[in-house]
């Protein structure tokens, strides 16, 4: 793994990893990671709009069609974590043993642990932090990536609203599951902003993990009382 890019596959929950991975699946996973790593390095070096997908394909020794077989859009080459989050919402948020806030915190905690574990594994702590900061600047300075993020968030909110509606016997179009889903997904930008804020001053991955977790927990407590009481709405006909 390159020390210049983040292994975003480390952010997947352990239970989502295949129990037994065959040779073909392993090759596909490694190629997918190489495509994402290469694209991210090129984007951070030259800017997102200055890099063509064909250049990424050439650098990895594959065809442009192969790249799009793994990533449907150029933006998803660098922001595929959104799909992982969407999958996690569909499974963890549907768990009846967890409150909506508990389920969301579990997903966020797993993603943060994956990121800080990657940081801890790097030989150069300063360089590793710089990579994350550069990655954040890449997203913030690229309109198409920000638009992709907004579209992905809309999909995640819609999926969460459907799950919460099933849990409470309401309709996804009702105001309760809609506002609950929006509140839960708002914890992701809280975590990202906390990561950016604490990254510069943190001296260890453990220190960073604890500081970010504390900020997310504060936000989760603020919305927890309302969301934990989410119940089927009484309808008058």
pLDDT in tens, 26-75: 899 899 989 999 999 999 999 999 999 999 999 999 999 999 999 999 99
Residue 131, Cβ density class (10 Å: 0-12 exposed, 13-18 middle, ≥19 buried):
buried
Rounded to an integer, what distance in angstroms lies between the CA atom of residue 200 and that of residue 158? 34
- Whether 12 has a pLDDT exceeding 50, the answer reads no
- Whether 113 has a pLDDT exceeding 70, the answer reads yes
User: Quick one: pLDDT at residue 226?
Assistant: 74
Taking CA atoms, 123 is separated from 13, 126, 136, 204, in Å, by: 24, 9, 21, 12
The answer to whether 31 touches 69, Cβ cutoff 8 Å, is no
- Whether 93 has a pLDDT exceeding 90, the answer reads yes
Rounded to an integer, what distance in angstroms lies between the CA atom of residue 180 and that of residue 145? 26
Rounded to an integer, what distance in angstroms lies between the CA atom of residue 135 and that of residue 199? 13
| Ranges of each domain in the chain | 8-228
212: tokens are 């970010």
Centroid of chain to Cα 2: 20
CATH class of 8-228: mainly alpha
Handedness of CA 139, 140, 143, 148 (dihedral sign): positive
Question: Mean pLDDT for the chain?
Answer: 88
């Amino acid at each position: 793994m390159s020390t210049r890019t983040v292994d975003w596959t480390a952010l997947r929950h352990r239970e989502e990893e295949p129990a037994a991975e065959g040779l073909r699946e392993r090759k596909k996973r490694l190629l997918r990671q190489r495509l994402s790593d290469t694209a991210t390095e090129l984007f951070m070096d030259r800017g997102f709009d200055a890099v063509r997908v064909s250049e990424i394909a050439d650098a990895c020794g594959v065809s442009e069609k192969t790249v799009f077989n793994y990533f449907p859009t150029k933006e998803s080459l660098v922001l595929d974590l959104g799909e992982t989050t969407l999958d996690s919402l569909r499974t963890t948020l549907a768990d009846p043993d967890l409150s909506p806030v508990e389920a969301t915190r579990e997903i966020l905690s797993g993603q943060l642990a994956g990121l800080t574990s990657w940081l801890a594994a790097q030989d150069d702590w300063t360089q590793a932090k710089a990579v994350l900061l550069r990655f954040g600047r890449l997203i913030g300075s690229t309109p198409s990536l920000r638009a992709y993020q907004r579209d992905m968030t809309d999909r995640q909110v819609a999926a969460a609203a459907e799950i919460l509606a099933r849990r409470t016997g309401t309709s996804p179009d009702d105001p309760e599951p809609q506002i609950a889903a929006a509140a839960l997904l708002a914890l992701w930008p809280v975590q990202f902003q906390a990561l950016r804020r604490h990254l510069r001053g943190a001296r260890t991955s453990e220190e960073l993990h604890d500081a970010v977790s504390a900020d997310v927990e504060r936000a989760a407590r603020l919305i927890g009382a309302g969301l934990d009481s989410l119940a089927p709405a009484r309808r008058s006909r």
